């Protein structure tokens, strides 16, 4: 059974790789045997994360990049090529929440910023890297969406729009590249115990309501998302493509009567 999840000999590129969820993704992919390319904004944090992974017996390369900048994304792909690193697995995890409040209140600049990081960066990297996956016989792409993109949200509606678009991107690319054995899926986490969610988790009233609507009655852990990503990246997920896997403890299933 273990060989279903084995990524030995594979190269996995993870963006947003030094945050709470990113670190869990990197660790899980490494434990599955992949050489992990750690990419995030801060070069020092990327280098430190790669060194820490190597000290734990893993294999890693640090390549910093800013997903908000097209030139930086292009430079990342060039650096991969120069290093002889051709990803078999791409995990687009970098994300930007953007402003809270009604959609009518957001500015054009805020829309551009959120969609550049959350959607355009994924479109750009997949356009650059999927063809090389196809040339080598296949690969797996995982786009980090959110349950905010699956239901209405009055607090972070712009974020939800961008994440809904990611789920559609996964469906479109799955159809385009399936004949070349490239699988593309999205993962839609619920509330996960990461620094990204700290403000929400410090709000006692919010947490009481949220956990009351969650059948499992708890917040998710980063490694529970990472495990799903490893499954999608490996042979265990070999017949899954174009899907958005919801990992939320059942929150989106609730009718409010729990």
The answer to whether residues 3 and 235 touch, using CB atoms and an 8 Å cutoff, is yes
For range 133-161, the mean pLDDT: 94
**Model confidence at 123: pLDDT above 60:** yes
Buried b (16+ CB within 10 A) or exposed e, 191-224: bbbbebbeeebeeeeeeeebbebbeeeebbebbe
- Looking at the whole model, is its pTM more than 0.75? yes
CA 57 – CA 46 distance, rounded (Å): 17
φ and ψ of 250, to 5 deg: 95, 5
Band of residue 256 on the pLDDT scale cut at 50, 70, 90: low
**Model confidence at 209: pLDDT above 90:** no
Q: Which of 5, 115, 159, 177 is catalytic?
A: 159
Q: What is the DSSP letter of 163?
A: H
Q: Does 85 participate in catalysis according to the annotation?
A: no
CA 14 – CA 7 distance, rounded (Å): 14
Neighbours of 240 (CB within 10 A): 14
């Amino acid at each position: 059974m273990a060989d279903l999840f084995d990524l030995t000999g594979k190269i996995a590129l993870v963006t947003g790789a030094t945050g709470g969820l990113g670190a869990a993704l990197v660790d899980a992919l490494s434990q599955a045997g992949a050489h992990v390319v750690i990419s995030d904004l801060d070069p020092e944090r990327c280098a430190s994360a790669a060194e820490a992974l190597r000290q734990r017996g893993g294999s890693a390369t640090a390549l910093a990049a800013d997903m908000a900048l097209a030139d930086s994304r292009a430079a990342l792909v060039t650096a991969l090529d120069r290093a002889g690193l051709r990803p078999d697995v791409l995990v687009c995890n970098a994300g930007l929440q953007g402003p809270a409040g009604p959609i009518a209140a957001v500015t054009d600049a805020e829309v551009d910023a959120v969609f550049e990081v959350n959607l355009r960066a994924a479109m750009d990297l997949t356009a650059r890297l999927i063809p090389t996956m196809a040339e080598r016989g296949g690969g797996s792409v995982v786009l980090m969406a959110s349950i905010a993109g699956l239901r209405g949200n009055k607090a972070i509606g712009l974020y939800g729009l961008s994440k809904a678009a990611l789920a559609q991107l996964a469906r479109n690319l799955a159809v385009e590249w399936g004949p070349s054995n490239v699988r593309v899926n999205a993962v839609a986490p619920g509330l996960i115990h990461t620094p990204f969610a700290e403000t929400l988790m410090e709000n006692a009233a919010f947490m009481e309501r949220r956990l009351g609507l969650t059948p499992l009655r708890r917040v998710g852990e980063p490694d529970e998302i990472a495990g799903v990503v490893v499954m999608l990246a490996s042979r265990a997920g070999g017949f899954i493509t174009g899907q958005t896997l919801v990992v939320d403890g059942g929150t989106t299933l609730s009718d409010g009567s729990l």
